[in-house]
Amino acid sequence: MIKNWQNVKMYDLTQPLSHLTPAWPTYEPLQVKFFKRLCPNGANGQLITTSNHVGTHLDGSLHFCTHGRDIASIPLNELIAPGVVVDLSDIAEDYGIYTSEDITGRVEVKEGDILIIYTGYHRYSWDQPEGDEVRYMVKHPGPTKEFSHWCRQMKIKWIGVDCGSADHPMNTKIREWAPVQAKEADLYMQQKYGKTLDEIFPPADYQLMHIDLFPQDIIHAENLGGDIAKILNRRLVIGCFPWRFVGGESSICRIVAFDEE
């Protein structure tokens, strides 16, 4: 852990948040308005309407698990702890699959770590010069059940990803909502892996990074960005700062990496 805060450099891994930030497909976007301005009492005030899945946010286990913890119940020593940021951008491609070996071949992961995965798809975020919302949400790479099993074995505290979901988009409802891209993905899987999309992601494995892991309180944060590309393949202290949200299934949050230089 950090011994001398005078030597600490902080990296903000949070995507900018505004009414322009895309929510996950079909979710309510952020809406904001002033209900009063400086006149006559000298204060500005705003009203916000939003879902919890806009911009950088932490999915709580309650999001997919009826008996799961709400956001307020997550201990601070799980939200803030040592971890690693791994760079998979050299192998990341549209509809690609990454494995636990892809992670461990680049960084040393210790039991109980926080794991941040950099696919490079951050460059397609809405706030970037190459912004491409469809590619960011619908085509990013993701894992299969092999990876979720490994996360359980390693007792990962939480996972962060620089794209729309910790699950492969073709293992979510997006597969039904985007039939054109689903056909592209099926062809890609057959050419790359010799299996159909249905064979790689059967119904039993549906949305496995949520359904398989959340009952174990191995949760994840999505839509990371900011300074993430500056700290690749490094071990740091990583902190996630959601609301202390009683009853919250998920929460907009800020994520910071602390580097004791």
Give buried/exposed letters for 81-92 (b at 16+ CB in 10 A, else e): bbbbbbbbbebb
Q: How confident is the model at residue 261 (pLDDT cuts 50, 70, 90)?
A: confident
Distances from the Cα of 243 to the Cα of 36, 172, 224, angstroms: 24, 26, 17
Q: How confident is the model at residue 240 (pLDDT cuts 50, 70, 90)?
A: very high
pLDDT at 69 over 80: yes
Mean pLDDT taken over the chain:
96
pLDDT computed for residue 1 by the predictor: 64
Contact between 65 and 215 under an 8 Å Cβ cutoff? The reply is: yes
Half-sphere exposure in the Cβ direction for 17 (13 Å, CA): 23
Full set of structural domains in the chain with CATH: 5-14+55-260 (3.50.30.50)
pTM listed for this prediction: 0.95
Mean pLDDT of 6-35: 95
Query: What are the start-end ranges of the H helices in 155-205?
Result: 174-177, 179-193, 197-200
Phi, psi (5° rounding) for residue 153?
A: -60, -40
Q: How confident is the model at residue 158 (pLDDT cuts 50, 70, 90)?
A: very high
pLDDT computed for residue 5 by the predictor: 77
| CB neighbours of residue 143 within 10 Å | 24
- CA 41 vs. chain centroid, Å, equals 41
pLDDT computed for residue 7 by the predictor: 87
Mean pLDDT of 165-193: 98
Mean pLDDT of 42-62: 96
pLDDT computed for residue 260 by the predictor: 82
- CA 78 vs. chain centroid, Å, equals 16
Strand 57-59 and strand 250-260: pairing? Answer: antiparallel
Q: What is the Cα–Cα distance from 172 to 90, expressed in whole angstroms?
A: 24
Task: Quick: pLDDT tens for 184-226.
Answer: 999 999 999 999 999 999 999 999 999 999 999 999 999 999 9
Structure tokens at 218: 């191995």
Q: How confident is the model at residue 40 (pLDDT cuts 50, 70, 90)?
A: confident
pLDDT computed for residue 254 by the predictor: 98
Mean pLDDT of 150-167: 98
Task: Quick: pLDDT tens for 108-128.
Answer: 999 999 999 999 999 999 999
pLDDT at 2 over 90: no
Query: Containing H/E element for 32?
Result: strand 31-36
Give burial (CB, 10 Å; 0-12/13-18/19+) of 142. Answer: buried
Q: What is the Cα–Cα distance from 231 to 249, expressed in whole angstroms?
A: 29
The residue among 115, 140, 113, 127 whose CA lies nearest residue 54 is: 127
